[in-house]
Chain A
Amino acid sequence: MADSASIPSTPLLKDELDIVIPTIRNLDFLEMWRPYFQPYHLIIVQDGDPSKTIKVPEGFDYELYNRNDINRILGPKASCISFKDSACRCFGYMISKKKYIYTIDDDCFVAKDPSGKEINALEQHIKNLLCPSTPFFFNTLYDPFREGADFVRGYPFSLREGVPTAVSHGLWLNIPDYDAPTQLVKPRERNTRYVDAVLTVPKGTLFPMCGMNLGFNRELIGPAMYFGLMGDGQPIGRYDDMWAGWCTKVICDHLGLGVKTGLPYIWHSKASNPFVNLKKEYKGIFWQEELIPFFQSVVLPKDCTTVQKCYIELSKQVKEKLGKIDPYFDKLADAMVTWIEAWDEHNPSGAAAEKPNGTAK
């Protein structure tokens, strides 16, 4: 059993958090995570051939869904869940009954901090999610709620309570999350810099949200975490988490929720094939030039007081303004609506939580 890196006061939240893992190969990586993940319930979303059996290591409490299960559970609405792409993981978010989600890729392992100690990534995500974010004013000493830090001189006191944290975006050592062109130019580059910071992404600022090492408060923002239409039969791949991140950030900004980025690090072991990646991303690289101005200028009406309402409104604007880029966005807008319908169907009571007041526990 690995030495617990936890400070006693961080709650485990073992009955309040599900770990969602998409996989198409195997779950061998879970062995390394066992000391940290074993207390939790896992939701495995098996992509690809449903007749293949994916073995889950002994001793984990889990539920596993393959494509047949997804089709059976969602019926025609299963069309919104991607096939042959890790975007299918968002099915796990929808089907979970927990307050928090942690999602991780199956090629991500436990990293070590500069002192050589193993990093309990899940614990750090929990810390990030349980303490407030500060999107309205940048703190130069980063997360003021971490031990050893605070708000600096000049930071307005009225903004020091912060807002509830909806998303905790972790980073990766070793193989960096670069796009295909950058991978082709710098195939050997490895991220070796451990930046000991967590910070809130300011309101009004977009960022590229990577789904490899991601925690979020499902009750606060879950319906916005739709990972789009990717993979089989779709003109694009590797933009699932990006799409979810832009939608999520816009909605968080509108609802007064916070997004953090930085610690924890995981060790990303597998560099995917850059030529395969280029084919997947190719259209995205051009499309994102138009998507970013779209997201930067989105205005959600005041009466969008729930995540679902925001998301449906967003889907309308996607249809109206992005449909002309490519028919894909028409389909995507429809899929966004299908996603919300499916979400509400499977999360009936308290699904449309009004804008939260007060800080997260």
Chain B
Amino acid sequence: MSLNIEDNEVDIVIAALRSDLTAFMEKWRPFFSRFHLIIIKDPDMEEDLQIPPGFDHQVFTKSDMAQILGATSINFSGHSCRYFGYLVSRKKYIVSIDDDCLPARDNTGTLVDAVAQHIVNLKTPATPFFFNTLYDPFCKGADFVRGFPFSLRNGVECVLSCGLWLNIADYDAPTQVVKPNDRNVRYVDAVMTVPVRAMMPVSGINIGFNRELLGPALLPGLRLAGEGKQRWETMEDIWCGLCTKVVCDHLGLGVKSGLPYVWRGDGVDAQGAMESLKREWEGVKLMEEVVPFFQSVRLPRTAVTAEDCVIEMAAMVKEQLGPLNPVFASAADAMVEWVKLWKAVGSQGA
């Protein structure tokens, strides 16, 4: 599919949770170098960042963030620092990849341009109202199958592209403890639209999104009491994804899952996972409480933008989930605060 990707359409946002980004950026250079990079240094990190030359990039540190945001109740430390990057970007599309991921190889052995694949996903329609059994009908060599209603073949705008991971899959702590040596080696050559009303776990490790349409809905809401720097010690992206999917479903926008893959990580420290599990059982339990909420949440017709939707959801979260756990009450506050920040900082000019 020969889709044109303009250099100035895309920002690549990297949350730097490690100081030496050299290897990471060198490996991604063929796919990153034409785009502008926004690199956010984890506010908790002391060391200076090491960034190889030759990239058009901007680095934001703790003090930059304080200066731009002023006083805010949102905690941007750890993986959440990337949301600051989403806030200050002015591009139509954002691609964000964890700094412990490298380009993967597809089944032919070719390195995968994850950035390009995310943009292709975002620039071709999604089809949330009916499931196409040959997956993405806009992909070369595929189409809508017999029985797919013609009126649904235009599709809707895809605003979120959820990529996957080879090697270390994005498992939670209990699964890592049980299967420390499992590696994801299966390259599934498909992109598909996640149907409307289907809930899903959005992993922030490898995503792309349409900032113009969805920006306000990608938010640092849920912060676990003992949130850590390992992905399995967070739920921020999972919470964000559940909210975002409700927003997309309500606004008639699409979410895709599948390609691209990135190659993730060096290895899982089972001992570390066990330690996390002792601290982070909380995150796993929280999910149980939110499922009925997300299964039944319905937004009012009057919510017509992502901001509107987030504000409505925040109120519902506060009312229905707040009493269950203070973490949810804080999440609701963070969602409201985020929309304020978005209006103040995020939506200024193009």
CB of A261 within 8 Å of the partner chain: yes
Assess the A288–B231 pair: CB atoms within 8 A. Answer: no
Assess the B288–A156 pair: CB atoms within 8 A. Answer: yes
Interface readout for B186-222 with A: 1 if CB under 8 Å, 0 if not? 1111100011111111110000000000000000000
CB of A205 within 8 Å of the partner chain: yes
- Kindly state the separation between the CA atoms of A62 and B71 in the bound complex, as whole angstroms: 78
Assess the B291–A156 pair: CB atoms within 8 A. Answer: yes
Given A182-B144, A186-B143, does the pair A140, B131 have CB atoms closer than 8 Å?
no
CB of B1 within 8 Å of the partner chain: no
Instruction: For A249, give the chain B residue with the smallest CB separation.
Output: B131
Interface centre among A139, A153, A201 (most CB of B within 10 A): A153
CB of B308 within 8 Å of the partner chain: no
- Chief secondary structure at chain B's binding surface: loop
CB of B232 within 8 Å of the partner chain: yes
Assess the B144–A153 pair: CB atoms within 8 A. Answer: no
Q: Report B-chain residues with C-beta under 8 Å of the C-beta of A288.
A: 147, 149
Assess the A205–B188 pair: CB atoms within 8 A. Answer: no
Within B127-147, the residues touching A (CB, 8 Å) are: 130-135, 139, 141-147
Instruction: For B235, give the chain A residue with the smallest CB separation.
Output: A154
Instruction: For B285, give the chain A residue with the smallest CB separation.
Output: A157
CB of A254 within 8 Å of the partner chain: no
Which residue of A114, A179, A186, A191 is within 8 Å of B147 (Cβ)?
A179
Assess the B238–A153 pair: CB atoms within 8 A. Answer: yes
Instruction: For B152, give the chain A residue with the smallest CB separation.
Output: A292
What is the distance, in angstroms, from A243's C-beta to the closest C-beta of chain B?
Answer: 9
- Kindly state the separation between the CA atoms of A182 and B149 in the bound complex, as whole angstroms: 12
CB of A169 within 8 Å of the partner chain: yes
CB of B162 within 8 Å of the partner chain: yes
Which residue of B132, B164, B295 is within 8 Å of A140 (Cβ)?
B164
- Kindly state the separation between the CA atoms of A279 and B121 in the bound complex, as whole angstroms: 35
CB of B257 within 8 Å of the partner chain: yes
Binds A, one of B10-18, B27-35, B167-175, B333-341: B167-175
- Kindly state the separation between the CA atoms of A155 and B202 in the bound complex, as whole angstroms: 10
CB of A256 within 8 Å of the partner chain: no
Assess the A152–B171 pair: CB atoms within 8 A. Answer: yes
- Chief secondary structure at chain A's binding surface: loop
Q: Report A-chain residues with C-beta under 8 Å of the C-beta of B164.
A: 140-141
Which residue of B149, B150, B190, B287 is within 8 Å of A195 (Cβ)?
B190
Q: How large is the interface on A (under 10, 10 to 19, 20 to 34, 35 or more residues)?
A: 35 or more
Binds B, one of A53-61, A142-150, A347-355: A142-150
Q: Report B-chain residues with C-beta under 8 Å of the C-beta of A271.
A: none
Given A204-B195, A208-B133, does the pair A155, B201 have CB atoms closer than 8 Å?
yes
Assess the A138–B200 pair: CB atoms within 8 A. Answer: yes
What is the distance, in angstroms, from A157's C-beta to the closest C-beta of chain B?
Answer: 6
Interface centre among B107, B187, B189 (most CB of A within 10 A): B189
Assess the A179–B189 pair: CB atoms within 8 A. Answer: no
- Kindly state the separation between the CA atoms of A155 and B287 in the bound complex, as whole angstroms: 8
Instruction: For A198, give the chain B residue with the smallest CB separation.
Output: B188
CB of A329 within 8 Å of the partner chain: no
Binds B, one of A15-23, A42-50, A170-178: A170-178
Given A182-B143, A289-B149, does the pair A148, B200 have CB atoms closer than 8 Å?
no
Can you list 10 A-B pairs with a CB-CB distance of less than 8 A?
A140-B164, A150-B182, A189-B143, A191-B142, A192-B141, A193-B141, A193-B142, A201-B195, A239-B147, A289-B150
List the 8 closest pairs (A to B, CB-CB), nearest first. A208-B147, A154-B201, A154-B238, A202-B198, A207-B131, A205-B195, A138-B200, A242-B147
Which A residues fall within an 8 A CB radius of B? 114, 136-142, 148-159, 169, 171, 176-179, 182, 186, 189-197, 201-210, 238-239, 241-242, 245, 261, 281, 285, 288-289, 292
